[in-house]
Structure 1
């Protein structure tokens, strides 16, 4: 028998999930169109009902407790189940509609997905598309992601996988820079060059190279580092040095001879290369909006990426 207490807790649990996802009462309250104080009282009521502390509250930040994390995980499962019930009720609708949230690395989002956004939205006018630039790992369930694109050789085994291409990291420089500073012929030559790298972590200027059985690790340096692919590419085009990119980012620039490949016979080893994976949760009732998006990607992106 369904516990009446559980029914009364469901709205509060949904609000709790939103607070965790937004990271603050203020942001979550704005989404719910209530005041932060009203939302705080709701969470206090939920804590009392569950007899557990969900957050550590300070004046500077909101931190979920260990018990809160466990409750959050279970609450997400319940909300997802409720969402599936809604999807079943709308499964017979002829035209796909609703919100799709897509996560992808910034470079892939900008260089590959962006050109397909407008055609997709024009083809499916009742679908709302939310795109998030995410370069690290992300939990699809916790963050409400419908589809995640990953550049990796180790996709998530718990999710459905559609392989849509392969990508490698490449080095490029402008012809003017090469004419001025010379073309490197070995990875160790990069020590004497200005290099552009991501600057997200302390290891981003440490590049690993492999050719046959020969392996080299090189610590590069330069005056310009930025974790935005197009800004880094603009810097390379302007002659600021040798940059590291995914092949799909620089394909057009190489074809137009605005940049030239550096050390093309060497493989750059990194966790951000390999399979271009499209992943989503396994579900018995796939929303029409998700199905048409997956089909759209498979019909369009696989052809585009096959040319890179």
Structure 2
């Protein structure tokens, strides 16, 4: 296969009228230009130029190749310009995967603004409570909460969301407000069915950081736990991005806020990157990060997010 560099060199020789002129144009030495042309002729098995002490003349094969080389290079230049324009105006289908609570509470409020800014991007949002294989599921980006275990992924940290113990006013009126972590033994605790690490609550007890609870009612979805807490079923431990609006509106109340340790769940945008990141992916990650940061921290606070330095 003929290298593009060889065609560029060949055309530069003809346009410049000499090896030295081509060398100056391509910022190479005349000997390097001569070697490139020789390799091209050897590869094609024909003589392209007739060299004399005063001038260079194209052979019949050289004239044939010159016409086609100019057309090929013009097409490559046009393709490059189109790709640059495409990069300047991201477009295409962008597939985003996240757990249901992340889609509902973190991403959904940001999507209208993103679509208004990038109207040529089509979005496909898919909910998955478990960690997925991005390639197998055909996803471009996943928004994940917590520690990342897959080292093959590229990731950008979007921020951190504090963990809160919460319960509905009705539940606390009926069952009482716990005053110490030991009081939780007399309450209905709502937790996750898996993984067990999500049932380690940010409370100190007997100089130990974190209390592992055994939930009376467990489920796999943080969104379901939120609804159970809102319904007065018990006390739950959830991230601020999920319950921040409920706390602000008084639908949920903090439980043991003074004893709660400052644990935070990191929020990540994860993606596979081989070479240059696709513009539709990079612009979405940039948009979400900027939207969560907001102007100062106001937008992030509304979403229960603290922006990482």
Contact conserved, 1:187 with 1:216, CA < 8 A, in 2?
Answer: no
Unaligned runs of 5+ in 1: 2-85
**Residue 155 and residue 261 in structure 1: after superposition, are their counterparts in 2 closer, same or farther (change >3 A)?**
same
SS in 2 for 1:142: helix
**Equivalence map 1:131-150=2 (5 Å):** 131-150=125-144
**Equivalence map 1:15-164=2 (5 Å):** 90-93=83-86, 95-154=89-148, 156-164=150-158
SS in 2 for 1:197: strand
Corresponding residue for 1:254? 247
Distance 2:80 2:128 in 1: 26
Distance 2:155 2:90 in 1: 22
SS in 1 for 2:108: helix
SS in 2 for 1:128: strand
**Displacement, 1:219?**
3.6
Q: How many residues align?
A: 219
**Displacement, 1:249?**
0.9
1:239 aligned residue (207, 224, 232): 232
Q: Does 1:305 align with 2:300?
A: yes
Q: Does 1:281 align with 2:272?
A: yes
SS in 2 for 1:166: strand
Distance 1:183 1:121 in 2: 44
Contact conserved, 2:90 with 2:279, CA < 8 A, in 1?
Answer: yes
Contact conserved, 1:102 with 1:148, CA < 8 A, in 2?
Answer: yes
Give the aligned CA root-mean-square deviation in angstroms: 3.1
What are the Cα deviations for residues 127-179 of structure 1, in whole angstroms up to 9, with x where unaligned? Answer: 11111223333222332221122212346443333221112332111122112
Distance 1:204 1:216 in 2: 10
Corresponding residue for 2:160? 166
Corresponding residue for 1:229? 222
Contact conserved, 1:208 with 1:268, CA < 8 A, in 2?
Answer: no
SS in 2 for 1:284: coil
SS in 1 for 2:267: strand
**Displacement, 1:89?**
7.1
What are the Cα deviations for residues 20-63 of structure 1, in whole angstroms up to 9, with x where unaligned? Answer: xxxxxxxxxxxxxxxxxxxxxxxxxxxxxxxxxxxxxxxxxxxx
**Residue 95 and residue 154 in structure 1: after superposition, are their counterparts in 2 closer, same or farther (change >3 A)?**
closer
Distance 1:207 1:190 in 2: 13
**Residue 87 and residue 226 in structure 1: after superposition, are their counterparts in 2 closer, same or farther (change >3 A)?**
farther
**Equivalence map 1:204-215=2 (5 Å):** 206-211=199-204, 213-215=207-209
SS in 1 for 2:159: strand
From the CA coordinates, give the structure whose radius of gyration is larger. 2
